[in-house]
Amino acid sequence: MIETVFTPWASLAGGVLIGLAATLLMLTLGRVMGATGVLSGVIFPASGAEFAWRAALLAGMVSAPAAIWQVMGEMPAVEVPVSTGALVIGGIIVGMGVTWGSGCTSGHGVCGMARLSPRSIVATVTFMAFTFATVFVLRHVIGG
Amino acid sequence: MKLLATYLVGLVFGVGISISGMANPAKVLNFFDIAGAWDPSLIFVMGGALVTTFLGYKLVFGRAAPVFDSAFSLPTARAIDAKLVGGAAVFGIGWGIAGFCPGGALPALGTGRVEVVLFVAAVVAGILIARGTTATFVRRVSA
């Protein structure tokens, strides 16, 4: 476990930027901003046009740490408190879950919830509950 | 023009994710650890993103169409079924194990950290597995 500092203002500002990006994507392309859809659409594109905008969006996302480094002089913190095995197993499970559940934190949790979509509300409540439960079991039941 | 605008939207999203803490698994996992080293920062990420998107969408949907297309492409699925709920539950378990979600990990790829590359590669493997087994899964959980 790694202690982290409570950052309400940075997190709020980051959240507002995430919401601004979701709004701008709807304004420009008329699309929902979902990281799952972006990744799936770049790797398994349905057509050239479907690939192009997702690739551009992904390129913008990946450029962000360098942009932050330019302005603030350091890369955003990425602290990984779990083993490599947990990263890989967790990643495979995440990939399966977001495919079956048709979305993740950005698609369901932000865009879908903002549209008051019942599917997204059910999905978000479900994955949040399971993430709380998983972390509790891993840190306090098994690892406690 | 359209792709440049899309690139900039991705950049705004990535900067938001990076400064919010969503790209940092230590922070994400501490948010979910109320019984331990609880860090409530992620409530502010979610709240800021939701309120902004809710208000932003209200303004955008006042238009007849988006700037670069003839119509909005909104998700059409309505069913709240075992696939949706089961998939969300599976995603939650994976998020709790790894600490990264796709939206946090994609911008974090830009840090060049090998852990992020490993996680994203594993997610792609998971997407492949799920695409191959979706029909079986639906049959099994609804049986």
Q: How many domains are there within chain A?
A: 1
Domain containing residue A74: 8-142
The domain locations on chain B are 2-142
Q: What is the ipTM of this complex?
A: 0.96
Separation of first and last alpha carbons in chain B: 50
Angle between helices B2-20 and A8-28 (to 10 degrees): 160
Residue B102: which of A27, A60, A94 has the nearest Cβ? A94
Residues of chain A with pLDDT under 50: none
Q: Is residue A38 part of a domain?
A: yes
Q: Is B125 exposed, middle or buried (0-12, 13-18, 19+ CB in 10 A)?
A: middle
| CB-based contact, A133 to chain B, within 8 Å | yes
Q: CA angle, B8 as apex, B3 and B13 as ends, to 5°?
A: 125
Separation of first and last alpha carbons in chain A: 11
Q: Is residue A3 part of a domain?
A: no
Q: Identify the pLDDT of residue A49.
A: 85
Which residue of chain B comes nearest to A107, CA vs CA? B103
How confident is the model over B43-88, as pLDDT tens digits? 999 999 999 999 999 999 999 999 999 999 999 999 999 999 999 9
Contacts of A66 in chain B (CB under 8 A): 110
